[in-house]
Structure 1
Amino acid sequence: MWQWSKGVVASVMTVLLLAGSAAGAAEKTERISDKDVVDAYAYYLGRLLVLRQEHLDFRDEGFRWNKIIHRSVGGVKWANPNLDVAYSEAWVGLDKNSCTMLEVPKITGRYYTIQTLNGWGETTSNVNERTFPRHASGKFAYCLKDSTVALGPDVQKVILPSAKSRILARIELGADPSQAVALQKQIKLYSTGTPVIAKPVAIQIFTNKNLPGITAFDNASAVLASEADINPGMEEMQAKVRGIQSAAKGSERTRLNELIRTRAIPDFGAQFLKLGTAGNGWHHPTTVGNYGSDYRARSSVNLGGIWANNSKEAVYYKTNTDGQGADLNGTNVYTMTFPKDRQPQSLVRYFWSVIVVDGEKFQVVPNSLKRYNLNNQSGLKTNADGSLTVVFANKLPSGYPQSNWLPTPAGKNYHLTMRFYGPSADLENGKYFPPPLVKASGSLAKSDRSGSLK
């Protein structure tokens, strides 16, 4: 049996150590590519948007853990509100020794769901008669997988993947909103114990108009550690985020911040406007509510309409252009006509709606009628041939019924969102797109000044 001499061993160890040092130095000085920064920003922003909302909810909206807030019908303070439903909201906090109880009244003849989402905006459960056909009402318990809480035989357990979750309950207003409100107020939420709930990681609160720069990465490790991404394959993106955090501590900080401002944010904005597949000037997000590897879609939805549900519950379409691709302008008149045999109510089991929101905060556009959306309860009038025309304008155009008019902001671009609840197969599989918006001209654009917005 032969042996290395001490001199040879020492020489080999020296070479290995020097090689390791050189590799480490090369790794430390390797620049993060522009593409990696653009991709990592689009990924990381999705978590920041939910974390921002957690801070704002507790700071400004009066949220308390495991206490439900029943919103007044018609509330419009948040992005892309669904004005067709009675909303209730809450933050759920769990640990292994405490579950959160949910009590749901019996609801028939109208759409409802109680949705939970995690800290990345992923839908983690829906409580309704479709997901729990044998236990559509009564008592439910939100628990962690390793929960030690003993539950009664009349309780349906719902396992959540996160210690923190956001609840959004929706009950269709329908023809009798007062009944929807009465049902809404019967929804109850309470904790079985006293869970230990971590404070949200501190971040700089930003606006949609001024998205964060490199400072958002200063505590990226803590932000990522505060909520696991349940989607597989995201480790590489998280490594890129941490790489930016590390590089930003040195001489790369200025370059990275400039890159975020000039490349990452504009790239994300462009992707946001073109989210999903396109048809007739409308964009249909192909992944909503549960995003898999499509982190760009997740971040885009968290920006423009946080807490979106999955396509089993609802299908969404959005646009800020007409059918020719030109930006919408609130001063112009646009029409959208549904054929007699393809009217929106024929495409859903429950209800549909279209809403106008601004292009910055994605909030409703104030107007003297306080009309922000149109839906199956709007009393829309059909044309002589049975088709249905909806009109979008700052002032009511002559020749159109006021019931079919949705006001728009004069001189400004705006966004439309269409929602279809209980979508047909054509909507769910992405084969359908709403009719294009057609810019009116000549006599169609002449307005009745009595309908002018204030």
Structure 2
Amino acid sequence: MEINDSSSQIRFIKKNILKIFTLGMLFLLVIPSFAAAKPTEDEITDSYLYMLGRYLLIRQENQDVNVEKLGYNKIKYNSPGSSEFANPNLDVVYMESWIAVDKDNAVILNVPEIKDRYYTVQFLDGWGEVLTNINDRTSPDHPYGKLAIVLKGTNPKNVPKDALKIEVPFNKVKMLARIELKGTPDEAVRLQKMFTLEVPANIKIAPVVSIPDFTNSKLIGSEIFSKTDEVLKSYPDSMPKASEYQKTVKKVADYMKASAENKKYIDNILETKAIPKFIEKTNGFGVEKNGWVVTYGAGEFGNDIILRDIVNYAGTWGNTTNEVIYFGGMKDVDTGQLLNGNNTYKIVFPKESLPDSMAEAFWSITLYNKPDYHVAKNALNKYGLNNITGVQKNKDGSLTVWIGPELPKGAFQKNWIPTEKGREFILNFRLYVPKEPVKNGTWFPPVIQKVNS
């Protein structure tokens, strides 16, 4: 009886095998949309903001390596007063390089001795976190000479005995060095060209991750989740909560891939929640006062994904507060409106609180248009003021800075920054090697005040 039952079952299965196979395949096709848990709006927003920080720097790496054809392990010696990335400092001469190493090979950076002017050699990871600065303040025992860039945990044979080891967490690192122009750009350029690299011939270098094109004006959308695994593997993240964020990112990516309907849901959240939230934050994020905004965590972001995004979006390769503090001039203090090139503004520094008194190295105020954060075009090719541009003090010892499309009546021309009409702009007030009142937040720049032209 049992044999007969088994035979019947076998005949039934053979007869209906096509139906069973078809039903099984249908089940496999539809199960992903049920298996992928639906993320919340906050999970989608946080995942997007987390990934955006990395995408912005992949975009920059692609610009440097493939568009400008810089490649790896070559130094780009930027001309004085120019740079291709957003929010450049026009008071220094830059050197920059994507340095690539591997477990068997270090790259040696030769740094010249630099006296009586500000300089720093900054190393950053692929998320914009500062790994270290080398200069006469941070490494007084080895402020110049040979720096050996070494993959952490390795011991390459080509490291010179007299070199200072710079251990990096992955096989690529961004080097950005700055030398103050200080009124003698020819000397700064001479020192700049003395930065050189010694590079082994057999270093294995992974190519830049290929990502969709996007701009600051039109940010990337749900495509940001299309290469989640590849992007996350392209550089380790030192953020303490990185593993938590990455787990949620993968949840969102899996859900989006499960169906067209799921992708539509993700697109809607990005368009209505995540991207508008980020753009809103770029108009004022951090401590706000007098029309200025400042954050004290650039280069060392902790778990602040929005701060990291904003720095990578508006001022790629920001440095730590011991090196520089950036105040962003955003709004007219009286109206609360964003700064606009059609208007005229003034900033008055009292004689007891002049910019010179708040920085050990130097200060500058530079004007950039939004949203690209590049310098505002004007007939004078004048984009800012600093401690060596010859600003003139008022009779009472105070200093008035003027910003507007035309020189205000009665203003010193040396104290005027021209604007581009019809464009919103921001001011970047930099204090290099800021003094303690600046670092602890007790000092703030004076109000930005709109005035009649």
1:89: Cα distance to partner?
0.7
Q: CA contact under 8 A between 2:110 and 2:197: conserved in structure 1?
A: yes
- What residue in structure 1 maps to residue 307 of structure 2? 297
Q: What is the rounded CA distance, in whole Å, between the counterparts of 2:136 and 2:389 in structure 1?
A: 27
Q: Deviations over 1:85-118 (max 9, x none)?
A: 0101100101110111010111010000111111
SS of alignment partner, residue 298 of structure 2: coil
1:279: Cα distance to partner?
1.1
Q: What is the rounded CA distance, in whole Å, between the counterparts of 2:150 and 2:46 in structure 1?
A: 34
Q: CA contact under 8 A between 1:98 and 1:193: conserved in structure 2?
A: no
SS of alignment partner, residue 256 of structure 1: helix
Q: What is the rounded CA distance, in whole Å, between the counterparts of 2:381 and 2:249 in structure 1?
A: 43
- What residue in structure 1 maps to residue 119 of structure 2? 112
Letter in 1 for 2:399: L
Q: CA contact under 8 A between 2:36 and 2:254: conserved in structure 1?
A: no
Letter in 1 for 2:304: D
Letter in 2 for 1:305: G
- What residue in structure 2 maps to residue 42 of structure 1? 49
Q: CA contact under 8 A between 1:330 and 1:411: conserved in structure 2?
A: yes
- What residue in structure 2 maps to residue 8 of structure 1? none
* Pairing of 1:362-377 with structure 2 (within 5 A): 362-377=373-388
Letter in 1 for 2:117: R
1:415 matched to 2:426? The reply is: yes
Q: CA contact under 8 A between 2:48 and 2:224: conserved in structure 1?
A: no
Q: 1:165 aligns with which of 166, 169, 173?
A: 173
Q: Deviations over 1:358-385 (max 9, x none)?
A: 1111000111110011100110000010
Q: Deviations over 1:229-257 (max 9, x none)?
A: 01222211111111121111123101101
SS of alignment partner, residue 365 of structure 2: strand
SS of alignment partner, residue 346 of structure 2: strand
Q: CA contact under 8 A between 1:284 and 1:430: conserved in structure 2?
A: no
Comparing 123-132 with 386-395, greater Cα deviation is found at 123-132
Q: Deviations over 1:101-137 (max 9, x none)?
A: 0101110100001111111011111111112101111
Letter in 2 for 1:239: K
Q: What is the rounded CA distance, in whole Å, between the counterparts of 1:201 and 1:411 in structure 2?
A: 37
Structure-2 change in CA distance of 1:395 and 1:248 (3 Å): same
Structure 1 runs, 4 residues or longer, greater than 4 Å off: 24-27
Letter in 2 for 1:186: M
1:280 matched to 2:290? The reply is: yes
Q: CA contact under 8 A between 2:296 and 2:325: conserved in structure 1?
A: no
Q: 2:249 aligns with which of 241, 257, 264?
A: 241
- What residue in structure 1 maps to residue 103 of structure 2? 96
TM-score of the pair, normalised by structure 2 = 0.90
Comparing 26-35 with 283-292, greater Cα deviation is found at 26-35
Letter in 1 for 2:221: G
1:264: Cα distance to partner?
0.5
1:222 matched to 2:233? The reply is: no
1:327: Cα distance to partner?
1.7
TM-score of the pair, normalised by structure 1 = 0.90
- What residue in structure 1 maps to residue 150 of structure 2? 143
Q: CA contact under 8 A between 1:354 and 1:417: conserved in structure 2?
A: yes
- What residue in structure 1 maps to residue 13 of structure 2? none
- What residue in structure 2 maps to residue 307 of structure 1? 317
Q: 2:71 aligns with which of 64, 73, 77?
A: 64
- What residue in structure 2 maps to residue 21 of structure 1? none
- What residue in structure 2 maps to residue 6 of structure 1? none
1:26: Cα distance to partner?
9.9
- What residue in structure 2 maps to residue 327 of structure 1? 338
1:289: Cα distance to partner?
0.6
1:132 matched to 2:131? The reply is: no
Q: CA contact under 8 A between 2:324 and 2:431: conserved in structure 1?
A: yes
Letter in 1 for 2:417: L
Q: CA contact under 8 A between 2:296 and 2:439: conserved in structure 1?
A: no
Q: CA contact under 8 A between 2:65 and 2:72: conserved in structure 1?
A: no
Q: What is the rounded CA distance, in whole Å, between the counterparts of 2:125 and 2:184 in structure 1?
A: 32
- What residue in structure 2 maps to residue 18 of structure 1? none
Q: 1:268 aligns with which of 278, 282, 289?
A: 278
1:400 matched to 2:408? The reply is: no
**Unaligned 5+ runs, structure 1:** 1-23, 446-454
Q: What is the rounded CA distance, in whole Å, between the counterparts of 1:77 and 1:409 in structure 2?
A: 20
Q: What is the rounded CA distance, in whole Å, between the counterparts of 2:36 and 2:61 in structure 1?
A: 37
SS of alignment partner, residue 418 of structure 1: strand
SS of alignment partner, residue 252 of structure 1: helix
Report how many residues are paired. 420
**Unaligned 5+ runs, structure 2:** 1-30
Q: What is the rounded CA distance, in whole Å, between the counterparts of 1:345 and 1:62 in structure 2?
A: 39
1:317 matched to 2:327? The reply is: yes
Letter in 2 for 1:58: V
Q: What is the rounded CA distance, in whole Å, between the counterparts of 2:449 and 2:180 in structure 1?
A: 30
Q: Deviations over 1:151-172 (max 9, x none)?
A: 2221111111121111111000
Q: CA contact under 8 A between 1:340 and 1:386: conserved in structure 2?
A: yes
CA RMSD, aligned part only?
1.5
